[in-house]
């Protein structure tokens, strides 16, 4: 039995199939951990969702910002962007089943000393606090009025966490930290316009995982989201967005021994 964590797939179905073949994935005994952003930008989002849904309990998924965006567009609470490529999901005959499955996925997952999340954890959050906060978002996504939640998660404010936050402000900070954050200040103030490499962070900001005294430092955070950061594997962080959809590679790490497996991007054009 092995556990493989895989980076941002973003509709790269062909690469996912080749990576699963490379690692000789056996859903009867192995586990897949997906860091989120299963869909969008790539050519075959519907193929990715169908495959992962078919694998049942062999797959652990945390949601990324593109996954939440798909859900919001599907419910009509926001408009699609010109660069979105998940219309294959919206037009699929099994659309309802796929979106219901996606909405039921986690925002954060903890097992042993690993934390699976799409973007990161705010420096003040302990692992257990982050889990409790993620459960608040997960409950809203699974609620019968989930459309209201999806309509209110967009925006950059508040930029930092406070235990006094309530309502949609509270939920928005949790979502933004877990699915959009790359850099923050020592106080945990997030900045969302920055998408460059870690060494070019704006003045006063740093990668969230480099903040001194980070409360989750004793865990290994498995994440993605930051393609300009690239692959980063340390005892504290396994960052797996190696930019497959942008012409890079799709990466998997076997968590038991940190062995790396990669496949290269396939050139596929969307008309």
pLDDT of residue 271: 38
Q: In what order do the strands lie in the sheet with 237-239?
A: 108-111, 114-117, 220-223, 237-239, 232-233
Give me the tens of pLDDT residue by residue for the chain, a chain 271 residues long.
999 999 999 999 999 999 999 999 999 999 999 999 999 999 999 999 999 999 999 999 999 999 999 999 999 999 999 999 999 999 999 999 999 999 999 999 999 999 999 999 999 999 999 999 999 999 999 999 999 999 999 999 999 999 999 999 999 999 999 999 999 999 999 999 999 999 999 999 999 999 999 999 999 999 999 999 999 999 999 999 999 999 999 999 999 999 999 999 986 544 3
Q: Is 76 helix (H, G, I), strand (E, B) or coil?
A: coil
3-264: CATH homologous superfamily?
Answer: Metallo-dependent phosphatases (3.60.21.10)
Per domain, the residue ranges of the chain are 3-264
pLDDT of residue 190: 98
Q: State how far the Cα of 225 lies from the Cα of 88, in Å rounded to an integer.
A: 22
pLDDT of residue 267: 64
Q: Answer for the pair 33, 5: CB distance below 8 angstroms, yes or no.
A: yes
Q: Answer for the pair 89, 98: CB distance below 8 angstroms, yes or no.
A: yes
Q: State how far the Cα of 46 lies from the Cα of 142, in Å rounded to an integer.
A: 21
Q: What is 114-179 written as a DSSP string?
A: EEEESS---TT--HHHHHHHHHHHHHHHHSTTHHHHHHH--S--S-S--TT--HHHHHHHHHHHHH
pLDDT of residue 118: 98
């Amino acid at each position: 039995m092995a556990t493989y964590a895989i980076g941002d797939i973003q509709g790269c179905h062909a690469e996912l199939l080749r990576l699963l073949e490379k690692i000789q994935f056996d859903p009867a005994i192995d586990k897949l951990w997906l860091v989120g952003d299963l869909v969008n930008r790539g050519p075959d989002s519907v193929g990715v969702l169908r495959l992962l849904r078919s694998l049942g309990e062999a797959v652990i998924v945390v949601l990324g910002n593109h996954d939440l965006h798909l859900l919001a567009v599907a419910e009509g609470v926001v408009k699609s962007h010109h660069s979105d490529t998940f219309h294959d999901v919206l037009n699929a005959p099994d659309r309802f089943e796929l979106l219901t499955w996606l909405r039921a996925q986690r925002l954060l997952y903890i097992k042993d000393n690993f934390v699976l999340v799409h973007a990161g954890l705010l420096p003040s959050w302990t692992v257990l606090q982050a889990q409790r906060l993620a459960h608040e978002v997960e409950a809203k996504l699974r609620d019968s009025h989930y459309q209201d939640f999806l309509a209110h998660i967009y925006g950059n404010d508040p930029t930092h966490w406070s235990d006094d936050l309530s309502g949609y402000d509270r939920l928005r900070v949790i979502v933004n930290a877990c699915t959009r954050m790359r850099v923050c200040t020592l106080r945990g103030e997030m900045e969302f316009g920055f998408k460059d490499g870690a060494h070019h962070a704006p003045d006063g900001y740093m990668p969230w995982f480099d903040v001194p005294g980070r409360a989750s430092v004793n865990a290994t955070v498995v994440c993605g989201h930051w393609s300009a950061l690239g692959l980063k594997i340390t005892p504290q962080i396994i960052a797996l967005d190696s930019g497959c959809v942008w012409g890079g590679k799709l990466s998997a790490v076997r968590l038991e021994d940190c062995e790396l497996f990669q496949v290269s991007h396939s050139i596929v054009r969307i008309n």
